Structure 1
């Protein structure tokens, strides 16, 4: 099932920074939310339709444990957008209409470097470049990128489609209902609509979630994020990224994360050896040759049953790119390509099954230029 979610009010999704009562006064929001937020919203929607099964929540026989998020992206007036791959950069201070620049690769054998991969991504020009921190790539641009056509790509920014509406409040004494000293706080609420200086005509930023598991109503209401703000959802069609144009080039390919991934070894999947950077995934022998990996994201949550914070994970951010080389030469190229598509394309590759079910680590395959 695939649903489109539209907010009815401002939304607030917390990052991993502390925001303890009386200790922290400033809370910044993030967008888009982590897949676990939407996973929780789906579970709540199911239980609201089946209240007699609420007693099974987080216990044996919990029907919502069968939910699996299989895709997550944004749309602006039905145009799909995905996280910008981090091997695409822009010139520092460049105007918005300038094209993205693909990074090149070169071997670093014999060089003194903290980089553990045999190849390094770099910019061939002389001008300083930078990563687009909140970049988005339209689906048709991403299809070209995955086909190896990395020139003439144009990006968007998530912040262009959000309007910041901070909320200021103060804690109150639970008995007297009067303000308490030292409990003034500010929360960065966001409205899912573009700023007027960016877009003169109304546009709607929506969340698209594809999932498997128990059925929910074709349309309805959800509660999202801090304060449980309201949102409506309706069934829609999925815009999927086909692997039809995927092909190996000199036995090499790339994997792009469209949702954050959680690995046991930090930035490295558990099936790769930390020294050789080689390993097997579903009997496919691979070696990591390069990567464009962003700063880690702290992902946690709150356990409603045990009334305590969930364990905090460090996640590889969406948009991170891994370059691999196929080591197994016993299969034909066509067989290897089919196996790679079956193993990676559109599949969650996080090391923890629970996090994969929540939609962490959804990957797509791309060919090299």
Structure 2
């Protein structure tokens, strides 16, 4: 399902926004899953005539996957994914970050059993060059299927365009601007040049129509169609069978009970041995059922990568089953977080070998 904002979308970052002069309402660079989950459930409940919050328990059970980003092209809508954090560009070369074997006598402050991740050669000391925030699916898929692609340069862009608007406060008596009462709102324009952008959502049941989304009740077009869930590549399954190791890449933020680690240190039986995790994202919101703000929580950001080992005793059937239960599924620890779209994951190859940490 596609959701295309008609006007610049405002998804607030939780900072207070008052009518005081100089106030600024800043938008997040991309909406959280719960924003789309709440909007989708509200729209569907209204269409089905379900009263809220009386039927909130039933509505909260409606699960979805996403949101991701899509761009309209000549042959239809193209899927874009958040850049993986295990990719590092130095100069003109893109390097993969991989788990490293600790030198003899060395140690880290990582939790027991976790290995550091980085570049093995100490000679690679250039300042990292920026990478596009979103990669087209074709580039992202190559990064998943090749452990260290040579000469790889991903195609993508920075996503929705930030748009800043300056407003004035009107005197209700004279209908003129009040002196000094200026404020700003920052939104996301879903366009890139002449190309239209949209949000991709995969709910249990699609809805259509023109409904509000985000702050200021700005309108968005909700329509069926758009990119489908990519199929699990057979080549990926065969590599996982051989190596008994994999990369799990989060496409939406995730909530894990062990802060940045899953409950018990494993994703559905696969043990985490290393991770590349970005800065935590603070997530809050409004609880419609309780009529009060939700407690603030910290989420693992999209793009984070986990290196996992599969049990050696698993055969092809067990590995395939695990891959199918992981590929483009929500992996957050709590069931409601999974229903809300947190922790959507993809799988990539990893040979399971530790890179030797070279000495300077």
Query: TM-score normalised to the size of structure 2?
Result: 0.82
Provide the residue aligned with 1:296 in structure 2.
Answer: 280
Provide the residue aligned with 2:109 in structure 1.
Answer: 114
How far off its partner does 1:314 sit?
0.3
Matches of 1:184 and 1:304, distance apart in 2 = 31
How far off its partner does 1:149 sit?
4.8
| Residues 329 and 368 of structure 1, relative CA distance in 2, 3 Å threshold | closer
Matches of 2:190 and 2:80, distance apart in 1 = 14
Q: Is the 8 A contact 1:257 1:320 kept in 2?
A: yes
Q: Which deviates the most, 177-186 or 23-32? A: 177-186
How far off its partner does 1:30 sit?
1.7
Q: Is the 8 A contact 1:16 1:297 kept in 2?
A: no
Q: Is the 8 A contact 2:248 2:348 kept in 1?
A: yes
Provide the residue aligned with 1:67 in structure 2.
Answer: 62
Provide the residue aligned with 2:234 in structure 1.
Answer: 244
Matches of 1:263 and 1:130, distance apart in 2 = 29
Q: How does 1:185-204 map to 2 (within 5 A)?
A: 185-194=183-192, 199=193, 202-204=194-196
Provide the residue aligned with 1:33 in structure 2.
Answer: 31
Q: Is the 8 A contact 1:293 1:316 kept in 2?
A: yes
Classify the secondary structure of the residue corresponding to 1:86.
coil
Classify the secondary structure of the residue corresponding to 1:245.
helix
Matches of 2:262 and 2:43, distance apart in 1 = 33
State whether structure 2 residue 99 is matched by structure 1 residue 105.
yes
Per-residue deviation, residues 223-249 of structure 1 (Å, max 9, x unmatched): 111111111121114141524222325
How far off its partner does 1:189 sit?
1.8
Unaligned runs of 5+ in 1: 273-278
Q: Which deviates the most, 22-31 or 241-250? A: 22-31
Matches of 1:63 and 1:192, distance apart in 2 = 32
State whether structure 2 residue 208 is matched by structure 1 residue 225.
no
Matches of 1:72 and 1:244, distance apart in 2 = 25
Q: 1:359 aligns with which of 332, 341, 351?
A: 341
Measured on the aligned residues, the alpha-carbon RMSD in Å equals 3.0
Per-residue deviation, residues 14-52 of structure 1 (Å, max 9, x unmatched): 1244446659833321232111111112112213323x4
Q: Is the 8 A contact 1:88 1:131 kept in 2?
A: no
Classify the secondary structure of the residue corresponding to 2:140.
helix
Classify the secondary structure of the residue corresponding to 1:206.
strand
Provide the residue aligned with 1:329 in structure 2.
Answer: 312
Q: Is the 8 A contact 2:171 2:178 kept in 1?
A: yes
Q: Is the 8 A contact 1:25 1:186 kept in 2?
A: yes
Q: Which deviates the most, 144-153 or 168-177? A: 168-177
Q: Which deviates the most, 316-325 or 338-347? A: 338-347
Matches of 2:56 and 2:8, distance apart in 1 = 35
Aligned length: 337
Matches of 1:81 and 1:146, distance apart in 2 = 14
State whether structure 2 residue 204 is matched by structure 1 residue 206.
no
State whether structure 2 residue 302 is matched by structure 1 residue 318.
yes
| Residues 176 and 82 of structure 1, relative CA distance in 2, 3 Å threshold | same
How far off its partner does 1:130 sit?
3.2
Matches of 1:25 and 1:112, distance apart in 2 = 48
State whether structure 2 residue 256 is matched by structure 1 residue 259.
no
| Residues 230 and 323 of structure 1, relative CA distance in 2, 3 Å threshold | same
Provide the residue aligned with 2:355 in structure 1.
Answer: none
| Residues 133 and 63 of structure 1, relative CA distance in 2, 3 Å threshold | farther
